[in-house]
Structure formats: structure tokens, C-alpha cells
Amino acid sequence: MNDIAAKLGMTGDQLEGLLAILVRNTVILIGVINVAAVMTLVERKVSAWMQYRHGPNRVGPWGLLQPLADGVKFIFKEVVIPYGANKPLYLLAPAMAAVPAMMTIAVIPFANDVVLFGKNWGPLAIADIDVGILYLLAIGSMSVYGVILAGWASNSKYSLLGGLRASAQMISYELSMILAILAVVALAGSINLKEIAALQASTGNPLDWFFFKQPLACFLLLVASFAETNRHPFDFAECEPELVAGFNTEYSAMKWAIFFIGEYSAMAVMSALSVVLFWGGWSVPFMPDAPWYLGFAAFLAKVSVYLFLFVWVRWTLPRFRFDQLMRIGWKVMLPLALLNLLATGAMLALFGPPGAP
Amino acid sequence: MVIVKRKELSLLERLYVPEIARGLSITFRKMFEKKITRQYPEEPLPKTEVTRGQPRLVVKDDGNIACVSCGLCEAACPAYAITIDGGETDRPIEREPKRFDIDMLRCILCGFCEEACPKDAIFMSDELELADYSREMLVYDMEKLKRPAAAMRKRIEYVHKINDRWRSAPRPPMLADQHGAHGHAPSASTAGSHASSPTAAAQKPHAG
């Protein structure tokens, strides 16, 4: 190891650190893309079960290889670019929809400090930055550009309407989402996601999880994340009965699939964010000194519950009307989020930060 | 004009959340209930004598088909799926088809050929699956259409039972009845099981 490092003009520790970063980032990124693949299967299976069906069960045992078959199909299908489409933007849009979701995963802390081969490699996150929430919200909002660009570049009225709706919806719900998150930030006194998670995990008591201090904020963030990821009951960007398929009407083959990878990755990120903010991140109940792999498993389990909730709600609730969506966004969610933040601030001003003597 | 009175929603219902929770609990319970999907190729459809599948030529117990190439089924076929070239034979029926093709891609499984046939030569089988690699392979010739009478017996008996309701004279035996006494005659005992048989029996003298 030291010899190779010397040839590259580095010390052994530097090379080890570089390799660790490479391995960690690759594993996390591939993991997220695989979550998207698995979620397509989960979505189809759960929807089938809820409708007394079996769901895909032909490819591999219990249909487990279905995402692979879907992927092969998408790659070999023809990319049809509609007449009059703005070609560069048309090709850029799917990437714009998927890349922000992959970028935001960078600040999610999946587990506490990883100890492997007798060495502490730091927390299991691509980037442990101090402005984690700020970064996540800023980059996360960019994913709406993909939807708007897709709507604009397709030269189709359905796509354009879908894109417009998506932008209006995102602006409305981003506000209440940020206000809901701010309440937690005020409690934690930090916008570093790792610190917020560590604060909840320190004693191992599940009652320390911020959900029990901010249940309303947790609920608001859940509803807002349905809207942010364009999921039922707020999927107005696609809204089949009115807009055919909305912003992705004119897309085919892998371009279409990338939109879905983006949607499911965004779901994964929103779930992970909710888990970090409200459900203690990697905290294992009653085990404050749990090793990092147990914490990682607990984190994945919590995220899975959230992802299941996304699918569950989609196949239960009918879609809102667009005016209802706007009414709920501005007249219910926003006042509630503001009140919650005010109440949190008042409590903090009166009684001081939690845990303070 | 109809005035629909809408139910006033209570506060709980207007909050959405409890109702949403109720809906979620319903879908969650449904996930574990029995599936109603039929796993088709492994669990085939139930087949009875009423199943009207692809037409087949019945091979009688002496190894021949009863067709005399009269062309009635060809004429009755609404989809022009049947093509018959007739020829002579030394058998007592004197004429037999030299070529009997049914284009299964055109066949609509209506069963008119079965009804039109005066010689009980063509019957609808219970075979419904139709898949092949070329159009030519789906034009069935005489060899592909032949089915032994034993395999079709249930359908033949069913068709005879239906037709015999309007028959005055006993049906001449179509199959060499080696399989036991399958009386196709409209005897009172067999017709008695049918609900409309008393009237059918009463009308017999007038019809005759």
C-alpha cells in the first residue's frame, strides 16, 4: 500500500482515504439507483396485492428479476423524438429530473462512524457538510426544472400543462416543507444532518426522536414530500385522465425510464430525510452504542417503511383536484407550518433548548 | 329538476385525516386476502361440452371422416375460413374431401359449420389455444383437423341433445356404438331431464 502511494506521490493514509471515498460513493450511488429499480417492482407488487392480484411473477423467483427485464426492454426500445421538439432540451430534461435526486443523496448520513479493519472511516455519507439541509433543499428544488423542461421541449400541450402544474405545485409545497423542517432545525440548533441524527441517537431512547416533539411537522413534511416527488395524491404533473401522461407523454424508452429513476430516487431521498429529521436516523431503539452496521440496518428499515407508505398511499387515495391541491397547500399546510414554527420558537424562548439544564 | 341533497360532512370528515387512515387500513387488509387471478397457462380454463373452441373433423371409429364435401359449412362460414375440394371415393358415401382447409386466423369460432353439417362430420372442439410462428402454419389441413370421436364424444352428445329437441324421428346412429348404448334417440327418459322437454314432447305429433 505504502509503495503504491509513494509512486503516486501520496502518503499511505492519503491513498487509503481516497480509496475509501471512491468505494463509499460508488456503493451509495449504485445503492440509490438500485432502490429505484427495486421500487418499480415493489410498486407493482403492492398495487397488485391491494387489488387481489399477484403482480409480476414470471421473471425469476416471485418475479424478482422483473426490474432487470424492464431495464433490458427500455434499453432496446427506440427513442422517439417528436416533430418540432426542442432537441437539446428534450434530451437534457430526463437528466435534469434524475440528477438532483442523486446529488441530494450525498448529504444523507446513512450510519454512524464506520469502523472497518480497525480504523474509523467517518460517517457513512458521501459528504458530511455543515449546511446539509440547505444543500438538500436547494438541489432538491432543481428537480422541477427537469419536469418543466420536459413539458416545454416536447412540443405537446399535455406535456406543457403537466410541466406548468408541476412548477406551481412545487412552489406551493416547498414553502410548507421548508417551514416544517425549520421547526426541527430550531429544536436541534443545527442544519448538519449528521448532528441532527446524532442528537436523537445519543441516548438510545426512542422518545428522543424528534417525531415525538414535532408530530405536526413530521406529518406536514410527509404530505409535502408527496407533492414534491409528484406522487399520488398530488401527481398533477402526470395525471393520466386529464393529461394523458403529463410531462412524460412524449418520452419513450430509457429517456422515460430515467424520469422514473428520478422519481423513485427522489422518494428515497425524501424518505431518508424524514427518517433523519424525525425518526432518529441510524438510532437503534434502546441501543445507544449499537455498532454502525446495526444502525445502518435500522436506517434502511425505517426508510423502507417510508417508501412503503408512499406506495400504500398511492394505491389508496384518489387524486385531488388541482384547485383543492392549491387550497390545501396555501390555506392549510402553510398556516399550520407557520403556527408550528411559531409555537416551537415560543417554547424554545420560554424553556430553552431541549436537554439544556 | 332533481335536487340532490348532499350529506353535510362532519368536522372529522372534513379533516380528511381520519378518513384517509380508514382507507389506508382497508387497502392494507386487502393485501393479505386471497388472490383472484387465474394463473392461466398453469391453471387452464375449465372446459365443458358447451365450450366452443376450434372446429375439428371427427374421425369415426372405422377410421374415416363422415364428410361428403357437400360444401354447406363452406357456405355457412361467415369468415370464409373453410376451403373444400371434393373428390370421389370407393366408400359407400361416394364423395369425400380431397382437401379440407380451415384458416384458423379467419375462423371466428361461431360454430355455424357445426350447425350446417348434415353428416355430423365437423364439431367444435374444446381446443382454444392458437399460437404459432407463421400464418401458413395456422391454416389447418385435414390431417391437423382430425380428432378421434372418442375425444369429442361429450360435445357430440351435447349437440345431438340440443338438436333432438326438434326432431320427430329417432336419430340414426352416427357413431358405431361400441362405447355402450349411447342412445341419441329423443326418448322421453333423456329429454325428461330438460326443463322444456314436456312441451317439446307434446308438440312432437304436430311437428311430425
Residue boundaries of the structural domains of chain A: 71-351
Q: Please give the CATH architecture assigned to the domain spanning B55-166.
A: 2-Layer Sandwich (3.30)
- Min Cα separation A42/chain B (Å): 13
Kindly report the average pLDDT of chain B as a whole number: 80
Residue range B135-157: mean pLDDT, rounded: 88
Residue range A136-153: mean pLDDT, rounded: 85
Q: Decide: B123 and B175 in contact? Cβ < 8 Å.
A: no
Q: Decide: A28 and A105 in contact? Cβ < 8 Å.
A: yes
Residue B200: pLDDT over 60: no
Q: Decide: A203 and A287 in contact? Cβ < 8 Å.
A: no
- Min Cα separation A52/chain B (Å): 4
Residue range A300-315: mean pLDDT, rounded: 90
CB-CB under 8 Å, B23 with A53: no
- Kindly indicate the confidence band of residue A342, based on its pLDDT and cuts at 50, 70 and 90: very high
- Residue B15 touches chain A, beta carbons under 8 Å: no
In whole angstroms, how large is the CA radius of gyration of chain A? 22
- Kindly indicate the confidence band of residue B160, based on its pLDDT and cuts at 50, 70 and 90: confident
- Kindly indicate the confidence band of residue A338, based on its pLDDT and cuts at 50, 70 and 90: very high
**For residue range A88-123, what is the model confidence (pLDDT) as tens digits?**
888 888 888 888 888 888 888 887 777 777 677 777
Supply the pLDDT for residue B32.
87
Residues 6+ apart with CB under 8 A from B6: none
- Kindly indicate the confidence band of residue B182, based on its pLDDT and cuts at 50, 70 and 90: very low
CB-CB under 8 Å, A53 with B31: no
**For residue range A249-267, what is the model confidence (pLDDT) as tens digits?**
888 888 888 888 888 888 8
Supply the pLDDT for residue B194.
44
Supply the pLDDT for residue A197.
83
Residue boundaries of the structural domains of chain B: 55-166
Q: Which candidate in B34, B37, B40, B43 is best for mutational testing of the A interface (most A CBs within 10 A)?
A: B37
Supply the pLDDT for residue B180.
43
Nearest to A313 among B24, B26, B37 (CB): B24
- Min Cα separation A215/chain B (Å): 14
Angle at A102 between CA A96 and CA A104, to 5 degrees: 100
Length of chain B equals 208
B36 to chain A: nearest residue by CA?
A52
Supply the pLDDT for residue B206.
46
Residue A39 corresponds to which cell in the numbers above? 421500487
